[in-house]
């Protein structure tokens, strides 16, 4: 319990710690399942990307099981997974508490206020993404930080200590 409280001491009240610890233990299973499910759905709709990803896996891994080194070389697969995470983030939103008074746009927010951050609105915002409704893994060809017009417009698992 002390470990959980140390991790969450800035944002979670004592009575919320056990529930949040349980959620954090369960999320990896759910988020992975969601990612894999949506990836299969999207690739079935975009067979050209399915063929590219399959060819890449066969080229790099052949008939052997993928190892860590091989997985790190799967550029097309990584681009597809990132685009699926952008379109269908496994966590639709997060809430955080402001640690100090701040401004969000033209709105002043005092310290200690809960702020709701809907990932999906950021991931579909055309101020940050070209053609955000379109499935386009190419946008991740140069990595996550260069995929959008704004460096931190992609965060499907959240930020900081409350990220999955």
Mean pLDDT (the chain, rounded): 82
The superfamily (CATH) of domain 2-162 is: Cytochrome P450 (1.10.630.10)
Judged by DSSP in three states, 85 sits in: helix
Tokens (6 digits) for 96: 């955080």
The helix/strand/coil state of 110 is coil
Q: Which residue has the higher pLDDT, 89 or 23?
A: 89
Q: If you average pLDDT over residues 154-161, what whole number do you get? A: 69
Please give the Cα distance from 112 to 101 (Å, whole number).
Answer: 8
Helix orientation angle between 75-87 and 47-61, rounded to the nearest 10 degrees:
140
- Three-point CA angle 26, 28, 33, nearest 5°: 105
pLDDT digits (tens, 9 = 90+) for 128-149: 999 999 999 999 999 998 999 9
Structure confidence by residue, pLDDT tens digits, 85-124? 999 988 778 888 889 998 888 989 999 998 888 888 889 9
pTM: 0.75
How many whole angstroms from its chain centre is CA 144? Answer: 11
DSSP string over 14-49: GGGHHHHHHHHHHHHHHHHHHHHHHHHHHHHH-HHH
The domain segmentation of the chain, as residue ranges, is 2-162
């Amino acid at each position: 319990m002390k470990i959980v409280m140390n991790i969450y001491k800035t944002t979670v009240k004592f009575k919320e710690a056990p529930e949040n610890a349980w959620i954090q233990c369960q999320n990896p299973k759910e988020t992975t399942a969601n990612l894999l499910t949506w990836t299969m759905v999207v690739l079935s709709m975009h067979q050209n990307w399915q063929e590219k990803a399959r060819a890449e896996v066969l080229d790099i891994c052949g008939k052997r099981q993928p190892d860590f080194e091989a997985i790190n070389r799967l550029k097309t697969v990584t681009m597809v997974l990132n685009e699926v995470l952008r379109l269908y983030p496994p966590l639709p939103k997060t809430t955080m508490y402001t640690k100090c008074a701040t401004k969000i746009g033209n709105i002043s927010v005092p310290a200690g206020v809960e702020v709701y951050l809907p990932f999906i609105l950021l991931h579909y915002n055309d101020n940050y993404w070209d053609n955000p409704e379109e499935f386009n893994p190419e946008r991740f060809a140069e990595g996550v930080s260069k995929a959008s017009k704004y460096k931190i417009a992609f965060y499907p698992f959240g930020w900081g200590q409350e990220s999955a």
